[in-house]
Amino acid sequence: MSEDDERATDLSGGGIVSSNRTRCCGGSVASDCPSQFPDQVLENVLENVLLFLTSRRERNTVSLVCKSWYRLEKQTRSELFIGNCYAVSPRRAIERFQKILSLVLKGKPRFADFNLVPLNWGAHFTPWVTAMAEAYPWLEKVYLKRMSVTDEDLALLAQSFPGFKELVLVCCDGFGTSGLALVASKCRQLRVLDLIDDDVMDDEVDWISCFPETGTCLESLIFDCVECPVNFDALEQLVARSSSLRKLRLNRHVSIGQLHRLMVQAPQLTHLGTGSFSSAGDPAQGDQELDLISDFAASKSLICLSGFRDILLDYLPAIHPVCANLTSLNFSYASINAEQLKPVICHCHKLQTFWVLDSVCDEGLQAVAATCKDLRELRVFPMNPSEDSDSPVSEVGLLAISEGCRQLRSILYFCQQMTNAAVVAMSKNCPDLVVFRLCIMGRHLPDHLTGQPMDEGFGAIVMNCNKLTRLAVSGLLTDKAFSYIGKYGKLVRTLSVAFAGDGDMGLRYVLEGCPKLQKLEIRDSPFGDSALFSGLHHYYKMRFLWMSSCQLSRSGCKEIAQRMPRLVVEVIRDRVEEEMDDAVEKLYMYPSLEGPRDDAPKFVTIL
């Protein structure tokens, strides 16, 4: 699910604006707008039309037309999207929308992924599931991102929604295999159980055995992040009795021999995560030659391949039969070099999404550029994620990609050295870029050839890529880079800044210049209170602002809180014992209809 398909406004945006500012055209007093048709007919027509309207931005717009449209819209909305779980309370959401079938709920700020948010900060699923258990008994789908979910929450979910079909948990924690067992056994209509990048506790419960024995509705089972071994025999039987299964992503405890057995059971898969792709820890494997290539040849529908956690290189050629059909390939856990990549990638003409480790070097990226002409999304991760490592990818690889993959929409690129020239080239070669995230791992590093700051490169990106909505910057950057972003980044919704800028002006350029800015996360940059004040006109339209290790003071943040009553201003300390001096180490603020939350831990102070 791509973040950047999201619409700009979410629930709180729709809720804060009052609905009586436009004249009502469909109401009972029709003297202002005489109509040939009775109101009831108009309402029925609208209601039927609204059933087809799924985009939440469009629905929010509809709800602002007049009171009766607002009423009809809320009666027909079936998917509830809440981008910040603290922006609105479960009770308020339930009061407005009574027929919700699907919930999308997002919690912690993204920097929590990098250990910048202390444990137990919040984003608890409990109040939501408790409220919905009563209000939405027909709930079918729940998608959670960065939420704290307990086994008790999962137990309640499993027993409260008889028609429950889809559970997707992304970057969540707080639950274990016990909770999974309950979902597997009680959600008899379950079609989708996707666990992506979660921290799942090992309770030594055999959850795989808990699925219904008489055949399942499972279409998607993703558990590659689950770190504990699963009962393989049970898994094999599960796959055998799940005839609708299309997506299966195994964890690293599944050996290549076991993969073979599963592929034999499920040649209809469209998405496969291979697990370890090695024989380590599998006594049954021995020296047997696996006929894996036949398994792949039989998988005629396979379009998305991932896994390869402990890749046995000898078996890599087995995937050749599917390469020509692949639209998505994730090698980001496989340490392969350029020579090992080339024989695979040269067949992947249809590839649109490619995730890889920098172990493939610039040379590997050149091979990608030569073949994957339809590439839309590229992510290059570092094998050695530290500032001082030698990175085998550089501006050479970036340039090659920009020249070969003109359809690129989204890039995430980790490297140790970069030049403005390569970034400028990419801005011109790939004008359709929507997401540009460049991480030069050494802090404050300039263009390594010219010694100049990276201002011009990022400037070119915002200037030339007119559809850009998400930007992450790095390297040595002055306020000039931010002036470019403010001047040209008119569609930018998400901006990530680290170790950049000269002073307050940098942040001011962005807050004053980017009207669509929704999510701003900043760390270790010299922005202070006066920069923060320059954004007062905009904060109510944002989802959140995160600033850590900047130059904010408590008194400044307090004044913001006083001037903006519907903004929740959280000051987060790393340890409760830390002295509460005037410097603010971590600021997290967001508009909310509810005021200060009542579940804030001791190390959070709400101003």
Partner 1 sequence: MEGAVAYESDLNLKATELRLGLPGSNESEKQTLLSVKSNKRASPEMAEECRSKSNSSISDAGNDGREAAPAAKAQVVGWPPIRSYRKNSFQTRKKDEETTGIYVKVSMDGAPYLRKIDIKVYKGYPELLKALEEMFKFTIGKYSEREGYNGSEYEPTYEDKDGDWMLVGDVPWDMFMSSCKRMRIMKGSEARGLGCTV
CA dist., res. 390 & res. 388, Å (int)? 7
Q: Which of 274, 280, 322 is nearest to 302 (CA)?
A: 322
**CB closer to partner 1 out of 161 and 527:** 527
Q: Which of 452, 534, 553, 605 binds partner 1 (CB under 8 A)?
A: 452
Q: Does 111 help bind partner 1 (rule: CB under 8 A)?
A: yes
Tell whether residue 201 is a contact of partner 1 (CB under 8 A).
yes
Q: For the CB of residue 451, give the shortest distance to partner 1 in the complex, in Å.
A: 2
Nearest to partner 1 of 385, 515 (CB atom): 385
What gap in Å lies between CA 57 and CA 354, rounded to an integer? 30
Contacts of 209 (CB under 8 A, 6+ apart): 231, 234
Residues within window 579-598 making contact with partner 1, judged by CB under 8 A: 585
What's phi and psi for 530, nearest 5 deg? -65, -30
Q: Cα dihedral sign for 582, 585, 588, 589?
A: positive
Q: Does 83 bind partner 1 (CB under 8 A)?
A: no
Does 384 interact with partner 1 (rule: CB under 8 A)? yes
What is the x/- site pattern for partner 1, positions 21-40, by CB under 8 A? Answer: --------------------
Asked whether position 573 contacts partner 1 by CB under 8 A, the answer is: no
Q: Please, what is the minimum distance in Å from the beta carbon of residue 383 to partner 1?
A: 7
How near is the Cβ of 390 to partner 1 at its closest, in Å?
9
Residue 576 sits in the site that holds partner 1 (CB under 8 A): no
The answer to whether 356 contacts partner 1 (rule: CB under 8 A) is no
| 529 part of the interface to partner 1, by CB under 8 A | no
Examine residue 599 and tell whether it contacts partner 1 (CB under 8 A): no
Interface residue with partner 1 among 18, 114, 289, 579 (CB under 8 A) is 114
* Nearer CB in complex with partner 1: 154/259: 154
For the segment 282-321, give every residue that binds partner 1 (CB under 8 A): 309-310
Kindly tell me which residue out of 13, 257, 382, 535 binds partner 1, with binding defined by CB under 8 A: 382
Contacts of 589 (CB under 8 A, 6+ apart): 539, 544, 545, 557, 560, 567, 568, 569, 570
The C-alpha angle with vertex 512 and arms to 506 and 513, in degrees rounded to 5, equals: 90
Q: Tokens 């070669």 — which residue?
A: 429
Which lies closer to partner 1 via its Cβ, residue 10 or residue 224? 224
Among residues 315, 414, 436, 590, which is the contact residue for partner 1, using CB under 8 A?
414
Is residue 392 at the binding interface for partner 1, with CB under 8 A as the rule? no
58 binds partner 1 (CB under 8 A): no
Residue 99 makes contact with partner 1 by CB under 8 A: no
Which one, of 236, 246, 372, lies nearest residue 301 by Cα?
246
Answer yes or no whether residue 446 interacts with partner 1 by CB under 8 A: yes
Q: Which is nearer to partner 1, 270 or 419 (CB)?
A: 419
One of 115, 214, 287, 602 touching partner 1 (CB under 8 A): 115
Establish if 130 lies at the interface with partner 1 (CB under 8 A): no
The rounded distance, in Å, linking the Cα atoms of 559 and 144 is 33
79 binds partner 1 (CB under 8 A): no
- Binder to partner 1 among 61, 78, 285, 478 (CB under 8 A)? 478
Whether residue 385 contacts residue 391, with contact meaning beta carbons closer than 8 Å, is answered with: no
Residues 321, 397, 442, 513: which binds partner 1 (CB under 8 A)? 442
Q: Is 567 in the site for partner 1 (CB under 8 A)?
A: no
C-alpha to C-alpha distance for 479 and 212, rounded to whole angstroms: 59
Burial of 549 (0-12, 13-18, 19+ CB in 10 A): middle
Q: Is 116 in the site for partner 1 (CB under 8 A)?
A: yes
In the complex, the smallest distance separating the C-beta of residue 266 from partner 1, rounded to whole angstroms, is 25
Nearest CB to partner 1, comparing residues 63 and 525: 525
Residue 450 touches partner 1, criterion: CB under 8 A = yes
* Nearer CB in complex with partner 1: 376/480: 480
Q: For partner 1, which stretch binds (CB under 8 A), given 312-320, 397-405, 434-442, 590-598?
A: 434-442
DSSP 444: T
Under the binding rule (CB under 8 A), the answer on residue 151 touching partner 1 is: yes
Cα 169 from Cα 234, distance rounded (Å): 23
Contact pick of 385, 536, 555, 563 for partner 1 (by CB under 8 A): 385
- If binding is defined by CB under 8 A, does position 333 make contact with partner 1? yes
Instruction: Please give the full DSSP string across 257-313, using - where no structure is assigned.
Output: HHHHHHHHH-TT-SEEEETT-S-TT-TTTTTPPP-HHHHHHH-TT--EEE--TT--G
For position 549 contacting partner 1 by CB under 8 A, the verdict is yes
What's the CA angle centered on 344, arms 262 and 253, to 5 degrees?
Answer: 35
Residue 390: DSSP 8-state: P
**Chain CA centroid to CA 248, Å:** 20
Distance of closest approach, residue 51 Cβ to partner 1, in angstroms:
39
Alpha-carbon distance 599 to 63, whole Å? 31
What CA–CA distances, in Å, run from 322 to 121, 282, 298, 556, 565? 44, 26, 9, 58, 57
Give me 526's structure tokens: 């010299």
The nearer residue to partner 1, 32 or 577, going by C-beta atoms, is 577
Per rule CB under 8 A, is residue 197 in the interface with partner 1? yes
Q: Which amino acid is at 548?
A: S
Contact between 217 and 190 under an 8 Å Cβ cutoff? The reply is yes
Count, residues near partner 1 per rule CB under 8 A: 59
Tokens representing 201 are: 């506790």
- Our finding on whether 106 is near partner 1 (CB under 8 A) is no
C-alpha dihedral sign at 158, 164, 165, 167: negative
Among candidate residues 483, 493, 507, the one with its CA nearest the CA of residue 556: 507
Contact pattern for partner 1 over residues 484 through 513, marking x by CB under 8 A: ------------x-xx--xx----------
Q: Does 3 bind partner 1 (CB under 8 A)?
A: no
Q: How far is the CB of 464 from partner 1 (least distance, A)?
A: 25
User: Taking the CA of residue 186 as centre, how many other CA atoms within 13 Å lie in the half-sphere pointing to its CB?
Assistant: 16
Q: What is the spatial distance between Cα 492 and Cα 467, in angstroms, rounded to a whole number?
A: 8
Beta strands in 499-555 (DSSP E): 519-523, 544-553
Residues within the interface to partner 1 (CB under 8 A): 111, 113-116, 119-120, 151, 171, 176, 178, 197, 199, 201-205, 225, 309-310, 332-333, 381-389, 414, 439, 441-446, 448-453, 476, 478, 496, 498-499, 502-503, 523-524, 526, 549, 574, 585
